[in-house]
Amino acid sequence: MPQPKNAMEIFQLLDKSNCRECGEKTCLAFAGAVFKGKRQLKECPRLDPEIIERFSGEPEDQNAAEQNRDAYLEKLKNEIANLDLAQAAKRVEGQFSDDKLTLKVLGKNFSVNTKGNLSTDIHINPWVAIPFLTYILYGKGVPVSGNWVSFRELKDGKERYPLFQKRCEEPLKRVADNYTDLFDDMVHVLSGKQVEEQFESDISVVLHPLPKVPVMVCYWLPEEGLESSINVFFDQTADKNLDIGSVFTLGVGLTQMFEKIAQRHGFPESAFSQ
């Protein structure tokens, strides 16, 4: 288990939003308190459970993680109730009518009303709901640049979520290797768009989990003794339109959704495990 050498090392793990949900005035104050042993990392609800596990040595407590996540979702909904949704709609490329702000999430309507209540044509999963609300609350509305970068190139991606490849790209590759309709589903079920192959890949598909946060999945087929591979790219503005924790949540959530779709088509769970 790695031990942080100083408070700054702990601070680097935090999302630096100074949201105060831990009861401290700033993330730096929280980091200092953790370093002195007065607080525990797991008391920051915005921290990924894997980071907590890695640094505290405690296995992830699924119930506690879910409770934290639900409490955080409620907090975001309360914040939405204090936001001018009509104004926010212009910033986040949404539509405001009948007291609701609606965004296209993977081609489907996803709405929140002025009281913070969510409604959608699809199932409300926390992996969509939390990024959806943080995008509306904190997204800067920066235009998409068209420049694709890896997760680790986004601000704080590498430091705070070093397991992105393990949690998103590796399992997604296993799905693509086994379930050949994966990319068809991305296009036809999730309103993705097959684009000209990027980075010399064999297949490139762009998805829009949020209007200004496109995701590009590139797949390289196996050849001449080389294994297949997959990379997930984000627009270089993704860390301005969404906090890095939510970008991570989207990537992992998408992967888990594809695993479930493939299982429904008859592939056993063991086909995707290492």
Burial (CB < 10 A; 0-12, 13-18, 19+), residue 162, is middle
Question: What's the closest the beta carbon of residue 28 comes to ligand SF4, in angstroms?
Answer: 8
- Among the listed residues 15, 53, 58, 61, the single contact to ligand SF4 using CB under 6 A: 15
Q: Which is nearer to ligand SF4, 41 or 101 (CB)?
A: 41
State which of positions 100-139 bind ligand SF4 (CB under 6 A).
Answer: none
Size of the site for ligand SF4 (CB under 6 A): 14
- Among the listed residues 6, 20, 121, 195, the single contact to ligand SF4 using CB under 6 A: 20
The answer to whether residue 27 forms part of the interface with ligand SF4 (CB under 6 A) is yes
What contacts 123, CB < 8 A, 6 or more positions away? none
Burial (CB < 10 A; 0-12, 13-18, 19+), residue 96, is middle
- Among the listed residues 30, 55, 179, 248, the single contact to ligand SF4 using CB under 6 A: 30
Q: Which is nearer to ligand SF4, 70 or 269 (CB)?
A: 70
Q: 30, 24 in Cβ contact below 8 A?
A: yes
Q: 209, 110 in Cβ contact below 8 A?
A: no
The answer to whether residue 46 forms part of the interface with ligand SF4 (CB under 6 A) is yes
DSSP code of residue 45: T
- 105-115 exposure pattern, b = at least 16 Cβ within 10 A, e = fewer: bbeeebbbbbe
- Span interacting with ligand SF4, options 12-20, 127-135, 251-259, 266-274, rule CB under 6 A: 12-20
The answer to whether residue 238 forms part of the interface with ligand SF4 (CB under 6 A) is no
Q: 211, 92 in Cβ contact below 8 A?
A: yes
Q: Which residues bind ligand SF4 (CB under 6 A)?
A: 14-15, 17-22, 24, 27, 30, 44-46
